Amino acid sequence: MVNVRPSLTTRIGQLELAYPTLMGSGCYGTGEEFAPFADLRKIGAIVLKSVTRLPRLGNPMPRIVHTSAGMLNAIGLQNPGIEWYLERELPKYSGRPCKLVGSVAGFSIDDYAYVTQRLAARSEIAAIELNVSCPNVASEGETFGCDPGLTARVVRAARAGTDKTLIVKLSPNVTDICAVAREAEAAGADALAVINTVRGMAIDVEAWHPRLANVSGGLSGPAIRPVAVLAVYEVAQAVKIPIVGQGGIETVTDALEFFLAGASAISIGTANFTDPRVPERIVAELEAYLARRGCASIDAIVGKANVGFATPHQYEGDEG
Ligand SMILES: Cc1cc2nc3c(=O)[nH]c(=O)nc-3n(C[C@H](O)[C@H](O)[C@H](O)COP(=O)(O)O)c2cc1C
């Protein structure tokens, strides 16, 4: 047992966080909606909703549906566009008692470069997260984050526009997430967020049509957690930069899985919709866990999952 209080401070690139907990983009608004229910001093940072160069109305409704396996969303990046955002919205956020991370989305390399440079220039913004799960209009709508080379071009363009910490948020909807991770690191990313939502679809069996107007959407919540834990574990072997683990975190046990798999910090998204006190509870319980295990800091458990405990593989594949 250690007698001192374990330290939860974390560093992601140059971003220093009092707590290793970020609030997922699109899941915590600007913090304002949560302030009456949650103590914003007890969270590391809020990742703001992704912003694009031009305003977007988003997809037609319904664009969020509940399934027994989690939440399916196809918001379609609704936002007022970077000019309005900088002029009218960002100034209102400056009094937040936690760090703010700006999230950039785009439909061309130039979009990412422009929005990153504009957003990062603002003092309210401590770091930038690149949401690369967007279609590239110059390449028949191919998702940037699904192609390692395209991801690298986005990261290089954004990197040229700022010295602030650049976090690249990886999509799980790829064959080899490590290939994308390596390219993002080589192109100048300071950290990786692992993972964004998993593509999915739900069908109304009485009406015989998709439940989302957009047909498909992104699945989030506990169902994607094992997918995310494995992605964090594999990406942590592939790169040296820190990882912000996310996907279905609801409890301290969930959070611990991510740290042990190799994440230096975690992000909480969907859980906030049902219980705004989840982040606070996780922080308190993390501290208690570290104290109980005799760990002086959160760093002591990062990547410490002992994979050598298993008996040698008898089969080549995972399944069956
Ligand atoms: C309603 C909703 C909106 C989201 N909007 C964004 C977004 O604008 N940009 C982004 O990078 N991720 C967005 N996400 C993804 C989350 O930030 C998070 O990475 C993902 O949901 C997995 O974590 P979770 O299972 O804890 O929610 C959104 C998720 C939800 C549920």
- Helix orientation angle between 225-238 and 252-261, rounded to the nearest 10 degrees: 30
Three-state secondary structure call for residue 293: coil
245 Cβ closer than 6 Å to some ligand 1 atom: no
Q: Whose CA is nearest to atom 26 of ligand 1?
A: 269
90 exposure class (CB count in 10 Å sphere: 0-12, 13-18, 19+): buried
CATH topology of domain 10-309: TIM Barrel (3.20.20)
Average pLDDT, the chain: 95
Nearest-angstrom CA–CA distance, 235 and 242: 10
225 Cβ closer than 6 Å to some ligand 1 atom: no
From 21, 22, 23, 25, mutation site for ligand 1 pocket: most ligand atoms within 8 A of C-beta: 25
Given a cut of 90, is residue 319 above it in pLDDT? no
Index of the ligand 1 atom closest to the CA of residue 222: 25
How does pLDDT run across 179-225, given as a tens digit for each residue? 999 999 999 999 999 999 999 999 999 999 999 999 999 999 999 99
The model carries a pTM of 0.97
* Residue 94 confidence class, pLDDT cut points 50, 70, 90: confident
Q: Are 243 and 235 in contact (CB under 8 A)?
A: yes
Residues ≥6 apart with Cβ < 8 Å to 254:
222, 225, 248
Question: Residue 30: which of 87, 81, 74, 92 has the closest Cα?
Answer: 92
Three-state secondary structure call for residue 296: coil
DSSP 51: B
59 Cβ closer than 6 Å to some ligand 1 atom: no
79 Cβ closer than 6 Å to some ligand 1 atom: no
Given a cut of 50, is residue 2 above it in pLDDT? no
Question: Residue 194: which of 246, 266, 152, 150 has the closest Cα?
Answer: 246
Q: Whose CA is nearest to atom 21 of ligand 1?
A: 220
Q: Report, as an integer, the average pLDDT of 140-154.
A: 95
Where exactly are the structural domains of the chain?
A: 10-309
Q: Report, as an integer, the average pLDDT of 274-295.
A: 98
How does pLDDT run across 37-70, given as a tens digit for each residue? 999 999 999 999 999 999 999 999 999 999 999 9
131 Cβ closer than 6 Å to some ligand 1 atom: yes
